[in-house]
Structure 1
Amino acid sequence: MKKTAIILGATGLTGNILLHKLIADDRYDHIKLFSRSKIKGLPHKVSQFTGNLLKLDAFKVDFTGHEVYCCIGTTAKKTPDKNRYRQIDYGIPVTAAKLAKENNIPTFLVISAMGAHLKSLVFYNRTKGEMERDILQQNIPNTCILRPALIGGKRKERRLLEKMGLILFKVIQPLFIGNLKHYKIIDAEDIAQAMINLANTKNCKGIIIPSNDIKKIANI
């Protein structure tokens, strides 16, 4: 049976890689994108629904399929207002999970972050922890949360400090052994492939996957 996949965040680094992987995957005959703006040049198997994702409930009728891939995320630099930040990094993924539950979508995969924790003193990590908790509370049969470390890959926008950080991290990667392996750079390509592999093996019964395991799953 051919499947329908839903992607949130297809204009971002990981989401865009995921999109093109699913386009090339014969197991999927329909891909639905929910975003603020359209992506040009996509094939007919892709349907695009544009609007305000902070009001994702408005898309309930069209939010149907077999799998949801949530790659939504912003940064403190792009969204310095904490209330707005929370609306994006917490509000959109949790609303998507609630819609998936209401529309009987059996598989939900979401990208969180290493360090996510409900009781973290860091706002970013605490927000991610709350997002994880409330998604898991929806009890969607196949729910998987990925916690990548620093994500590597070619971004469209210029992020000088982030680029410098990635270069430095790559130089010291050989020193990341033992417990430090959790902090190794994880390529966006591996995150996208791991999500697809998890969705198709149904090996995501409410599990949280640390960064160092994502690459292993991508290579299955």
Structure 2
Amino acid sequence: MADGKQVVMIGATGAVGGEVVKALLGMDSVAGITLIGRQRYEGSSSAKVSQHVADVTDPESYRHLLAGHSHAICTLGVGQPSKEGRAQFLRIDRDLPLAFGLACREAGVGHFQLLSSVGADATSKSFYLRSKGELERGLLALEFARLSLFHPSMILTPTNRYGVSQALTLAVWPWLTPLLAGPLRKFRGVKLARLGQAIALNLDRTALARTGEASEILEWDDFNRICEG
């Protein structure tokens, strides 16, 4: 292996997480991938992958698995935020990722990557964006050696996963893309596989810091730059 990265991850059974794992498996620089979740990831039998079923709501159930990892990735989140109550959404999308981040930091993980959202802001009037911003603020306070915050807008899945509203979005969004120019480019939709690939390949890149020396916010143009090398 080129540099033997050891990656620990939660959220692998989600749509984005699954694509991240696929991309990680193709990287020579990644020596091992530890997947932690309530269910097993069924997409690979590679010897690189070590799977552990654990209660992600309780860091004590997985804390012992974190030592020795150089990188952590969190793609955990609610698939359809509108279908969840606010308390449950905050628990899954904010509190659990932050608890995972804290446990990783205490275990000595140097680089943490989070799937967040364009427009995340702890002071936003939008409940969704405010919760994402609060999570990011909490992770920044942990002072990782490197923190990568991925800010996609619409994630374009190859199939309709959530019914009529998503079907309409998937049909219309590609037509809107050319209209999103200049400062609006960050709102362009990103294909699911490309986002997963960008998250994985970013492990091999030096920081593209925008918010400080140790943190970086990555948006649509960055995803393409990372994937195209």
Q: How many residues align?
A: 219
AA aligned to 1:71 is T
Q: Quick one: which of 6, 9, 33 aligns to 1:4?
A: 6
- Per-residue CA deviations over 1:37-67 (Å, capped at 9, x if unaligned) read 1123522221111122111332111023111
- For residues 70 and 147 of structure 1, the distance between their equivalents in structure 2, rounded to whole angstroms, comes to 13
Q: Quick one: which of 153, 158, 168 aligns to 1:164?
A: 168
- For residues 202 and 56 of structure 1, the distance between their equivalents in structure 2, rounded to whole angstroms, comes to 29
| Residue aligning to 1:22 | 24
Query: 1:159 deviation in Å?
Result: 3.2
| Residue aligning to 1:216 | 225
| Residue aligning to 2:50 | 47
- For residues 211 and 114 of structure 1, the distance between their equivalents in structure 2, rounded to whole angstroms, comes to 9
**196-205 or 146-155: bigger deviation:** 196-205
Indicate the percent of aligned positions where both proteins have the same amino acid. 22
In the alignment, structure 1 residue 148 sits paired with structure 2 residue 152:
yes
Query: 1:155 deviation in Å?
Result: 5.0
Q: Quick one: which of 165, 185, 191 aligns to 1:187?
A: 191
Change (3 A) 1:156 1:148: same
Listed as ranges, the gaps of 5+ residues in structure 2 are 209-213
- Per-residue CA deviations over 1:156-179 (Å, capped at 9, x if unaligned) read 844331121121011222222222
**37-46 or 84-93: bigger deviation:** 37-46
Contact 1:4-1:28 within 8 A present in 2 as well: yes
- For residues 36 and 203 of structure 1, the distance between their equivalents in structure 2, rounded to whole angstroms, comes to 31
SS at match of 2:216: strand
Change (3 A) 1:3 1:187: same
- Per-residue CA deviations over 1:157-211 (Å, capped at 9, x if unaligned) read 4433112112101122222222222211012222222223322123152112233
- For residues 156 and 56 of structure 1, the distance between their equivalents in structure 2, rounded to whole angstroms, comes to 33
TM-score (ref. length: structure 1): 0.92
| Residue aligning to 1:207 | 216
In the alignment, structure 1 residue 104 sits paired with structure 2 residue 113:
no
In the alignment, structure 1 residue 138 sits paired with structure 2 residue 142:
yes
Listed as ranges, the gaps of 5+ residues in structure 1 are none
SS at match of 2:65: coil
Contact 1:13-1:154 within 8 A present in 2 as well: no
| Residue aligning to 2:179 | 175
| Residue aligning to 1:77 | 82
Change (3 A) 1:123 1:158: closer
What's the Cα RMSD here? 1.8
- For residues 136 and 121 of structure 1, the distance between their equivalents in structure 2, rounded to whole angstroms, comes to 21
Change (3 A) 1:54 1:25: same
- Per-residue CA deviations over 1:126-176 (Å, capped at 9, x if unaligned) read 100000000011101011101110011235844331121121011222222
- For residues 221 and 205 of structure 2, the distance between their equivalents in structure 1, rounded to whole angstroms, comes to 19
